[in-house]
Structures are given as structure tokens and as C-alpha cells.
Amino acid sequence: MPATLETVRPIELAEIREARERIAGTIVRTPLVRLELGLGYPDIRLKLENLQPINAYKLRGAANAVAMLPDSERKRGVWTISAGNAGQGVAYAARKAGVPCTVVVIESAPASKIERMKALGAKLIPVPYDVAWKALEDRSFPGVEGTFIHPFDDRNFIAGHATMGLEILEDAPDTAAVIAGIGGGGLISGVGSAIKALKPEIKVWGAEPETAAPAALSFAMGSPQLFKDWKHSFVDGAGGQSVFPRMWERMKPVVDGYIVVSLEETKNAMRLMAEKARIISEGAGALPLAAALTGKAGPGPIVAIVSGGNIDLRKFCELIGASAA
């Protein structure tokens, strides 16, 4: 890891508010809607980040990170590593800045994400998951030029995501808990930083699929862990092979606990959102709702962050059809 990385320190509320102003012309202030499920269910509100221009929350962080690059670094072009949503975010921000973008993309990424990155002008380099995860740790990839923007372990990226926390508290000041899916940990670190700075009594929960739950394991063990039984699933936007030590440092002060859900529970959450609110969510975006429905985060009000809706429609229909069977 490069010696020039800055020491991990808390994301300050002033940074978050500055990021909000900086990205206001690029992102959408997404709605917060109540999910009507009837008696016997927790009070759940959905933060619809699937309605961002790239259909995913990653645009918040990418827009802030690209905007904060010095001109000399931005002009060199930018590159990132992604399963699809971070790649779209960086590509969108790079196109707006008029600079080239390269994405080292996990080759199993959904076709919808790959096509969107291409449409945004990104040069794609497909690689296996293990290779991409190693490149994330190394912050380098052979033959790629430009300024690297880490898709989660980047202070400016995280500050961009944190702007969502400001919106949540403005729209739902009675919130008792917030649940965010965890891939690398940038989303929950950002949102948690904003929530805890303004209302520390609100519980912040992470959600992971049973096939890839290193954060929950790390929480149980008290230190960053490798998830040895990692398996690829349709929840491609969350659940890594491990928790990076730097991200563990970021998450520890702002996350109260972690909820692991099954793939069936995730499919059911996708189906419920489609049936009750006409919302199309990808697997990672449905994790928080699935976690809320377990009851482990309490009766609410709970804000479940729908982090993205980038999923092939055929695959979506297949998954929710299987859930309804």
C-alpha cells in the first residue's frame, strides 16, 4: 500500500456540508418514501438512491472525489475498480469534467452495468473478482494510466456519500435506525458519520448477504477478517471477501451492528419493493429492507437505503418470480 495514504480520521460535519454544495448540480436529492406493509411489520422508509442519474448512490462519492482532484491530476484522466456502480459514478463525473475514464471491472458484473459504463464513455478492462479485489488492496493495475480513485477507501468519496445522511435526517427527523448495505464500507462510513454527528442516538446497522459477510464476522471477532466461505451471488454490489483494515477503522465508530440476511430474504425484499412501491432494486439495494424485516433493527422508524437499481430486467424477473413461488 502506498506510504502517502493519509491517516484515517473522522469525516467532519463541515466536510459533509461542503460536499453537499459541491455535488448539488450533479446528483439528485432522492425521495424518502414509506413502505406500506400493513400490521405486524416495522415502520420502514426507503431512501431511493436507485433514482440517481446512474441509478445508484455511488454518484455522490464519485462526483465529490473527481471535483476535488487538483487540475493536474484530473487532466491525466481517472480510473477505478468496480463491479459496476462505482465505475458508472466515476465515468459520469469524468465525462462531466471532460476527462477520460478507465474502469477495471469485475467480469461477472451484470450486463446492464457494463453497458451503462460503456455508454458513459469509460474504457473497460474486465478481470476476475479475485484480481479486482487484489488491485483494490494494491491501488494499482498493470498498464492503467491516470489518477486512481478508490471506490470506497477515499475520504472525498465517503464525504460525498455522507450527504445522504443529511437528507435522511431532514426528511425523517424521527428516524430510530438506518440500515445500509456493505460492500467495501464507504456508504455506511459516510452515512454513519453524518447521522452520528447530528443524532448519535440513532442506530446505524450494516447489512450483508450470507454468502459474503466479512463485516459481521469482523464485528464478532473484534478485528478485520477474511470471509473464507465467500461465494458469488446476484448480490454483486455488496459483500466483499474481507474488510480492509482502514475501512474497519472508519466503520467502528459509526456502526452499531451488522445484520446478515439470506439470499431468499433478499429476493423477497426485492419482490416486496416491486409489488408495494413499484421500485426496481438490485440485490445489494434490497439488503437493508431484508435486514429491517428480520426485526433485529427494532420497530422503527427505520430508513433502509436502496443503494441501486442496476440489474438486468430478465434477471430481476427471474429472481422475484422465484421468490413468489
Q: pLDDT exceeding 90 applies to what percent of the chain?
A: 78
pLDDT value, residue 3: 47
Domains of the chain, each with CATH number or no CATH? 13-56+158-324 (3.40.50.1100), 59-148 (3.40.50.1100)
pTM exceeds 0.95 for this model:
no
**Rounded distance between C-alpha atoms, residue 196 and residue 69, angstroms:** 27
Higher pLDDT: 281 or 85? It is 281
pLDDT per residue as tens digits for the range 120-136:
999 999 999 889 988 98
Pairing relationship of beta strands 123-127 and 147-148 according to DSSP bridges? unpaired
Calculate helix-pair angle for 13-23, 155-171, nearest 10 degrees: 90
State yes or no: cis peptide before 301, omega within 30 of 0: yes
**Rounded distance between C-alpha atoms, residue 177 and residue 94, angstroms:** 34
Average of pLDDT values for 186-205? Answer: 97
**Rounded distance between C-alpha atoms, residue 35 and residue 57, angstroms:** 20
> Per-residue b/e over 270-295, b at no fewer than 16 CB within 10 Å?
bbbbbeebebbbbbbbbbbbbbbbee
* Residues comprising the chain, all counted: 325
Examine the pLDDT at 17 and tell me if it is beyond 50.
yes
Higher pLDDT: 239 or 25? It is 25
Model confidence at 117, pLDDT cuts 50, 70, 90, reads very high
Instruction: Take residue 236 and report the three cell numbers written for it.
Output: 454483486
CA dihedral 148, 149, 152, 155 (to 10 degrees): 110
pLDDT value, residue 1: 45
pLDDT value, residue 87: 92
* Greatest Cα pair distance in the chain: 57
pLDDT value, residue 46: 98
Examine the pLDDT at 4 and tell me if it is beyond 80.
no
Calculate the average pLDDT of the chain: 93
Average of pLDDT values for 159-182? Answer: 98
